[in-house]
Chain A
Amino acid sequence: DQQVKQNSPSLSVQEGRISILNCDYTNSMFDYFLWYKKYPAEGPTFLISISSIKDKNEDGRFTVFLNKSAKHLSLHIVPSQPGDSAVYFCAAIGLNNAGNMLTFGGGTRLMVKP
């Protein structure tokens, strides 16, 4: 039972254009959603998060949108840069979970072409 899904395993975008990464979830008890970025041979690094009571959070080139009724969130990167090429994971957390476990999606590999 996959509670967090990223249906696009890969995405290719031209430098300077917008990258849109999508994520769907099934558990309505999730309180926060996070995006992580992972380069090869490195651990995931936190990128941006959004509370379930908000519908948008922006940080520089990165914006996350949350549609609770559709149980869908997306990460927008504008403008995309070659250094953004990495695997992006969507993750969710319910604050009353024991151990505060993160539930991750399967990841989307973003390739930004110069």
Chain B
Amino acid sequence: ETGVTQSPTHLIKTRGQQVTLRCSSQSGHNTVSWYQQALGQGPQFIFQYYREEENGRGNFPPRFSGLQFPNYSSELNVNALELDDSALYLCASSADSTTSFGYTFGSGTRLTVV
């Protein structure tokens, strides 16, 4: 049974650019959530996808968007990058959209915006 895999592990982008982060869910999981963890803070919920549909969204602007594919892998896209977008981005998958107890987190992508 494989875990949650995120790519890339590290990324440096320039302010104003666009970035795509990728996540492969754990086998058998149909729900994926994305979190942003700024330095020294706890993770903050961005959004969740269940069977390719957005199933909830946190307090993030529309330039944060996502996709979930038929194989339940997922992408997080961020447009018009700002310096404050520098953070660790965590993906978590679960087999059930109704509870967070079965969450398996990936190791994250560290994004630096310069």
Residues of A within 8 A of B (CB): 4, 6, 9, 32, 34, 41-46, 49, 89, 91, 93, 95, 97-107
Contacts and interface: CB of A to CB of B under 8 A. Distances in A.
Given A9-B40, A95-B99, 4 more contacts: A101-B33, A101-B58, A102-B35, A102-B103
Contacts, number: 71
B57 A99 contact: yes
Given A34-B100, A105-B42, A106-B42, A98 B55 contact: yes
A49 B103 CA distance: 13
Interface size class for chain B?
A: 20 to 34
Interface of B: 4, 33, 35, 40-45, 47-48, 55-58, 90, 92, 97-101, 103-108
A100 B55 CA distance: 9
Nearest to B97: A100
Given A43-B90, A100-B97, A4 B42 contact: yes
B55 A99 contact: yes
